[in-house]
Amino acid sequence: MSIVVVGSVAYDTVETPRERRERQLGGSASFFAVAARGRGPVRCVGVVGDDFRAEDLALLARHADIAGIRQVPGRSFHWSGRYHADLIERDTLATELGVFADFQPEIPASWRDAEYLFLANIHPALQAGVLDLMRSPRLVALDTMNLWIETTRDLLLAILRRVDVLLVNEGEARLLTGERSLARAAAAIRAMGPARVIVKKGEHGALFFGRDSVLAVPALVLDDVVDPTGAGDCFAGGFMGSLAEAGVGRDAPDAAFRQAMLDGTVTASFCPEGFSVEGLLRVDDAAYARRLAELKAMMVP
Amino acid sequence: MSIVVVGSVAYDTVETPRERRERQLGGSASFFAVAARGRGPVRCVGVVGDDFRAEDLALLARHADIAGIRQVPGRSFHWSGRYHADLIERDTLATELGVFADFQPEIPASWRDAEYLFLANIHPALQAGVLDLMRSPRLVALDTMNLWIETTRDLLLAILRRVDVLLVNEGEARLLTGERSLARAAAAIRAMGPARVIVKKGEHGALFFGRDSVLAVPALVLDDVVDPTGAGDCFAGGFMGSLAEAGVGRDAPDAAFRQAMLDGTVTASFCPEGFSVEGLLRVDDAAYARRLAELKAMMVP
C-alpha cells in the first residue's frame, strides 16, 4: 500500500571529526523515502530551490514518486552542523529555510487515497494542511520537535488528536507533557490522541508504548559511525514501510507494530554508516536479514 | 554458593529536587549486599568509623555476614551529591574518605573458599589485595571508575587479567580502551582479560558482551524515581546473586549469564524507587516476579 510523506528535501553541510561534506542530499522526506523504498509506493511532498541538483532529484526518483516535490526559484533548505568527537552530540551552525519558508504543500489528486501518511518534522500548520488533503488514511504518524512544541503548541495539540502514532525523542516527550518519567509522558501523550507513542533514543534504541504493551528495542551496536544525520527519519521510513507492506492499520493489535519497530531499527542502523543516504543505499536483502537476526539475538532474554 | 564483596560501606548525603537526606546508609558494598540477599550467603568486607550507627550495621547484618567489616576510630566514608531535575545528572559536592583512606581489607579465614567475588569500585591495589586472599573463586567480577583508569592504569590492567566480568559505564569503557564504538571497546576489554563485559547505561539499561553473543537489556520504565544512588551496585548484586544461586561459573555458556542480566536489571529497578536501600527492602517475591515478567514482555520481539 502507498505511503505519502511530507517533509524537507534539503541540503546538509555536515562536519564530523574526520570529514566535512558540503551540501549533501538530506532532509527528513529524503531519508524517509530512501529508507521506506521497496516496501510500497512512496510519494514525496516537498519543495526545492533552483539550486537543487538534477542528480539528487534523479536519485530520489529512483526510490520514490517525486511528483509532489515542486522546484521553485530560490535556494533549497540548508542545514549545517558539526558533530562532537562522540558523533552523538552536535551543534547546529546554520538553518537556512530558503524556499521552505513559503512552502505550501500540494499533492497530486491521485495521492489523496494513499493509505499511509507520514508527517515529518515541519510546522504543524503544514502538517495539518496535508492531512486535510487526504481522504481516509489507514494510519497517520507524526514527528515534531521542541520548536513547535514551544511556539505552536495549540496547533500541534489540534493535529495530535488526528494522529495514530507520534514519534518523539525523550526531551520532546518531556517538554510536551511536563512529565519526567517516560512512562507517565507516554500515557499523557496517548491521552492527547495518538494511541501509540514511539520514543526515539538514538544510540540507545527506541521505546514503543502501545495500547496494551511496551517494547524496548535496542539500537544495533555499530563498529563504525560515519554520520548519524537522518537516522531518526530512516527509523520512521523503515517503520512506516513495514506497516504499509504488511497492511497494518490503526486497529491492528500491538504485535503488528512491534515487528515494525524492529524494521525501523534495522533500517536506521545502516544510516550512520555513511554520509547522506549512502549507508542506506548499500543495503541489500542479505545484509538486512543478517542485521535483523543480530537484533533479535540481542533482544531474546 | 557464597559471595564475597569488598567495597565501601558509607554514608550518603543526597539532595533531590524534592527532598534532602543527610548521612543515609550507602556505599557500594551495602547496596550490593542488600541487592544480593537471599541468593546465597553474602559476605561483606569493608571499614566504617566510630560514627557508624549500630542500627545501620544491624540492618546490613540481617542480609549479609558483616564479620569482614571493621569498625575503627574516625569518620565513615561520606559522599554528598545533588541531583538535577532529571534525577539522572548529578553533581558531587563532597567525597570524604575518612577511615577508608587507610583501609586494608582483611577477610576471615573461612571466607577464602567463597565461590564468587565482587570487587566493587575501590582502588585497584585493594581489589588485588582481596583477590590475592581468595583460594580459587568460580567467578570474579570487578567494577571501576574514571579515577582509577586515569591514575592507576597499570594496576588496573594487571588485575583485569585475573577477572572474568568487568562492569563499567559507557564513558569508562571508552576511556579504558580509547575506542568510541562500544562494540570495539568491548572487544578491546575482552582482550585485556575479562571474557565478559557489561556496559551499564543507567536509565537506558545495560549491554552484555559475552564470549559469542551480545544482549541488550532495557531498564524498566519507572513511574517514579526518588533517588537513583546505588542502582549500579544493585545491578551487580542482582547479577552476582543470580550467578551464585544457579552455580554459574566462568566456564558456563553465555546463556547462563543472560539470565543473570535480567536478574540484575530487575533488582536494580527497585533501587531508585526509594532513598538508600529502602526501595530494595520493599521487594517481595510477588513484586519481583511481576517486574521480571514486565521486563521480558518489553524485550520479546
Measure in Å the smallest separation between the Cα of B68 and chain A Cα atoms. 36
| Grid cell digits, residue B196 | 565478559
| Grid cell digits, residue A205 | 534504541
Q: What's the domain range around A60?
A: 3-299
| Grid cell digits, residue A212 | 496494551
In sequence order, the 6+-apart residues with CB closer than 8 A to the CB of B192 are B157, B160, B161, B176
The pLDDT assigned to B218 comes to: 97
Of B184, B205, B258, the CB nearest to A301: B258
Q: How confident is the model at residue B273 (pLDDT cuts 50, 70, 90)?
A: very high
What does the alpha-carbon distance between residue B57 and residue B220 come to, in Å, rounded to a whole number?
A: 31
State the CATH number of the domain containing residue B195: 3.40.1190.20
Angle at A192 between CA A191 and CA A198, to 5 degrees: 85
Q: A213 contacts in B (CB within 8 Å)?
A: 297
In this model, does residue B116 exceed pLDDT 90? yes
The pLDDT assigned to A301 comes to: 85
What does the alpha-carbon distance between residue B236 and residue B32 come to, in Å, rounded to a whole number?
A: 6
CB contact under 8 A, B214 and A207: no
Checking phi first, is residue B112 left (phi over 0); if not, alpha (psi -120 to 50) or beta?
alpha
What does the alpha-carbon distance between residue A234 and residue A291 come to, in Å, rounded to a whole number?
A: 15
Q: B171 contacts in A (CB within 8 Å)?
A: none
Q: What is the pLDDT of residues B18-33, one digit of tens each?
A: 999 999 999 999 999 9
What does the alpha-carbon distance between residue B125 and residue B155 come to, in Å, rounded to a whole number?
A: 7
Domains of chain A: total: 1
Query: Mean pLDDT over residues B160-172, rounded?
Result: 97
Q: What is the pLDDT of residues A55-113, one digit of tens each?
A: 999 999 999 999 999 999 999 999 999 999 888 899 999 999 999 999 999 999 999 99
| pTM for the full predicted model | 0.94
In this model, does residue B292 exceed pLDDT 90? yes
Collect all residues from A whose CB is shorter than 8 A from any CB in B.
Answer: 85-87, 180-184, 201, 204-205, 207, 213-218, 221-225, 258-259, 262, 294-301
- What number of C-beta contacts closer than 8 Å exist between A and B? 85
The pLDDT assigned to B301 comes to: 85
Of B87, B214, B222, the CB nearest to A298: B214
The pLDDT assigned to B145 comes to: 96
**What is the complex's ipTM, to 2 decimals?**
0.91
Report CA torsion sign: B190, B193, B195, B198: negative
Q: What is the pLDDT of residues A2-18, one digit of tens each?
A: 999 999 999 999 999 99
Collect all residues from B whose CB is shorter than 8 A from any CB in A.
Answer: 85-87, 180-184, 201, 204-205, 207, 213-218, 221-225, 258-259, 262, 295-301
Q: B181 contacts in A (CB within 8 Å)?
A: 221-225
Query: Mean pLDDT over residues B156-161, rounded?
Result: 98
Task: Report the half-sphere exposure of A74 (CA within 13 A, side-chain side).
Answer: 17
In this model, does residue B174 exceed pLDDT 90? yes
CB contact under 8 A, A221 and B258: no
What does the alpha-carbon distance between residue A239 and residue A88 come to, in Å, rounded to a whole number?
A: 22
What does the alpha-carbon distance between residue A8 and residue A31 come to, in Å, rounded to a whole number?
A: 9
The pLDDT assigned to B158 comes to: 98
What does the alpha-carbon distance between residue A221 and residue B38 come to, in Å, rounded to a whole number?
A: 35
Mean pLDDT of chain A: 96
Nearest alpha carbon to residue A9 among A103, A88, A86, A138? A103
What does the alpha-carbon distance between residue A161 and residue A173 come to, in Å, rounded to a whole number?
A: 16
Q: A294 contacts in B (CB within 8 Å)?
A: 214
Measure in Å the smallest separation between the Cα of A68 and chain B Cα atoms. 36
Alpha-helical segments (H) within chain B? 28-36, 54-63, 124-133, 146-151, 153-160, 170-177, 182-192, 231-246, 254-270, 278-281, 285-299
Q: What is the pLDDT of residues B190-223, one digit of tens each?
A: 999 999 999 999 999 999 999 999 999 999 999 8
Return the amino acid letter for B140: V
Mutation target to probe the A interface, by most A beta carbons within 10 A, among B18, B169, B180 is B180
Measure in Å the smallest separation between the Cα of A246 and chain B Cα atoms. 16
| Grid cell digits, residue B91 | 553533581
Mutation target to probe the B interface, by most B beta carbons within 10 A, among A84, A214, A221, A225 is A221
Q: How confident is the model at residue B280 (pLDDT cuts 50, 70, 90)?
A: very high
Which regions in chain A score pLDDT beneath 50? none
Query: Mean pLDDT over residues B237-242, rounded?
Result: 98
Q: A184 contacts in B (CB within 8 Å)?
A: 223
CB contact under 8 A, B299 and A296: no
Q: How many residues does chain B have?
A: 301
Measure in Å the smallest separation between the Cα of B224 and chain A Cα atoms. 6
Mean pLDDT of chain B: 96
